[in-house]
Amino acid sequence: MTTISSTQSTKDLEAAQKEKTAPLITKEDEQEGNESFSTDVSYDHDVSLLPMVYLCVVNMLLNCSYGICAPLLPIDAERHDIDQIYLGFMFCVYSVSMAIFSPIVGKYLYTLGRRNMCKWGMIIVAAPFLGFFLSTYLTNSVLYIAVFMTMRVIQGFGTSMVQTSSYSILTLTYPTKINFVIACIETSAGLGLSLGPVIGTILYELGGSALPFLTFFVISITIGLVIKRLIPCFVDDIQSNSVQTDEEKPKYSELLTTKRVVFACLCVFIAVFQFAFIDPILAEYMKETFNIQPQTSGYFFLALGLGYMISCIVSPFYLRYFSNMRVSMISCFILGIITIFYSSSYILWFLTPNMVVLTVALLLAGIANSHLMITPMEEMIEAAKGRTDSASEVLNDMCSGLFNMFFALGEIFGPMIGNLVFSLWSFAGMCDVLGVGCVIFAVVYFLSCDLSLHKAPSYHHLSLTLNPKTAPIPQSVQSTY
C-alpha cells in the first residue's frame, strides 16, 4: 500500500510539473476554436499573438472612427451656424464621458465579463454613428447640438468599455509582456487617429456626410458581433475565489492612496496633456511666428505623432531591461526640457524661434511621451498587487479603468488650459511653465518613491493551463498566480 501511494504521489508531482510548463495560448488552441486556453507568465515562443492582433486592429478602427469627426464636425457645424465655443464642447464631451465611465467599467469588468464588455462596447459605439447621420438632416441648431453632444457621450461610454476591457484582457493574457502589448495598442491607436481624418475626408468626398458615418456604423456593428468569438474564453474564467463577494474585492480607494499608483496615473495624465495642449494653439503660433498657413502646420503635428509611433514600435525591445519607475521619471524630466525648446524661451533667453528646432523638439517629445504612456500600466498593476496584498485579476481591470480615466482627463485639460494660457499669455510662456512643471514632477517622483524599487522587474516562470469548460483554477495554482 505504501509503495502504491508513493507511486501515485510521484505521478501527481510529474503531472503538476507538466501543467506548470504548458504555454499560454498555443496555436493549436486557436485552431480548435477557443475550447482550451493556457496562461503563461514567461516568455514563450509558442504563445499565440492572435488575441493581441485582434484587439489592436479593433482599437485602431475604434480610434479611426473617433478621428473621422475631426474633419466632418466643423463642416456640419458651419452649415448649422454653430458657434465655435459650442463646437469645442461637442469635441470635449467625448473625453468627459470617457473619464467618468472608465473607472466604472473597470469595476464591473469582473462581474459582467471582459469579452461581453468588449462586444457590447463596440455595439454601443456603432449607435452614435447612426445618430450623427440622422442629425445632419436637422435644421434646428439647438436640437442639432443636443443630439450631437448626446451621441458623443454615448460614443465615449462605448469607447471606455472597449478600451478598458482591451487593456485588461491583454495584460492578463500576456502578464510578462505588458509593456509590449501596451506599446502595440498605443501604436494601433495612433495609427487609427492618423488615418481617421484622412478616411473621413475621402468618404465625405465620395458620398457626402452620410457615407463616413454609415460606413463606420457597419464596421462597428460587425466588430461587435464577432469580437467575442476572437477573444480567448480564458479571460473570463480566471477569477480567483478571493473576490467572489463585493466586500472582498479591491477598492479604488486603496489604489488611489498608493503613491506608486498615483504617480503612474499622473504620468499618463502628463503624457496626454503634453500631447494635447498644442492641438488648438500650434497652428496659430506657426501662423503668427513663421507666417505658415494652418493646413501646412499639419506637418509639424506629424513630427510629434511620428516620434510617438516609432518609439512605441521600438521601445518594448529595451524597456524590459529597465525599471518602469525609472523610465517614467527620466522621460518626464527629458520631456520638460524638450518642451522649453518649442519656442523662444524666457528661461533660455538665447533661444530664437526656429522651425528646425521646433520640429526636432516635437519629434523627441513624441518619443518621451511614448515612454510615459507605455510604462505606467505595468507599474500600476505591480504596485496595486503589493498594496492590496492580492494577485486578483480584478486589479488589472481597475488599473485599466484608472489608466483610461487619466488618459481622458489629459485630453480634456490639455487643449482647454493650452488655449486659455495662450490667449492670456504667450506660447513661449506656456511652454516654459509646462517644461518646469514636468521637471519638478520628475524630481518629486524620484524623491518620494522607494529607491529600492528602481530596478528592472524580474519575472517568475510560472504557467498554468486552463480549460474554462471543464474546471476552475486549482486553489494551489490560484494562490501562486
Determine contact, residues 234/466, Cβ cutoff 8 Å: yes
Tell me what pLDDT residue 28 has.
41
Confidence of residue 461 (pLDDT cuts 50, 70, 90): very low
Q: How far apart are the first and last CA of the chain?
A: 35
CATH class, range 49-238: mainly alpha
Instruction: Give 98-156 pLDDT, tens digit per residue.
Output: 999 999 999 898 888 899 999 999 999 999 998 888 887 888 888 888 888 899 999 99
Instruction: Give 233-267 pLDDT, tens digit per residue.
Output: 878 876 544 444 444 567 888 888 889 999 999 99
Instruction: Give 189-233 pLDDT, tens digit per residue.
Output: 888 887 887 888 788 888 887 888 899 999 999 999 999 888 888
The residue-averaged pLDDT of 73-92 equals 76
Confidence of residue 367 (pLDDT cuts 50, 70, 90): very high
Tell me what pLDDT residue 452 has.
57
Amino acid at 121: G
Tell me what pLDDT residue 294 has.
61
CA distances from 294 to 192, 279, 380, 424 (A): 22, 11, 39, 21
Confidence of residue 417 (pLDDT cuts 50, 70, 90): confident
Instruction: Give me the residue label for grid cell 510604462.
Output: 375
Tell me what pLDDT residue 425 has.
81
The span from the CA of 354 to the CA of 286, in Å, is: 10
**Residues carrying CATH 1.20.1250.20, the chain:** 49-238, 252-454
CATH class, range 252-454: mainly alpha
* Alpha-carbon dihedral sign for residues 194, 199, 201, 202: positive
The strand pairing partners of 338, in sequence order, are none
The span from the CA of 166 to the CA of 189, in Å, is: 12
Tell me what pLDDT residue 264 has.
94
**Longest Cα–Cα distance in the chain:** 93
Tell me what pLDDT residue 344 has.
83
Between 250 and 172, name the one with better pLDDT.
Answer: 172
The span from the CA of 62 to the CA of 138, in Å, is: 26
The span from the CA of 206 to the CA of 200, in Å, is: 10
Alpha-helical (H) ranges within 174-293 are 178-207, 210-230, 252-255, 259-276, 282-290
Between 237 and 43, name the one with better pLDDT.
Answer: 237
pTM for this prediction:
0.79
Strand (E) or helix (H) holding 145: helix 141-173
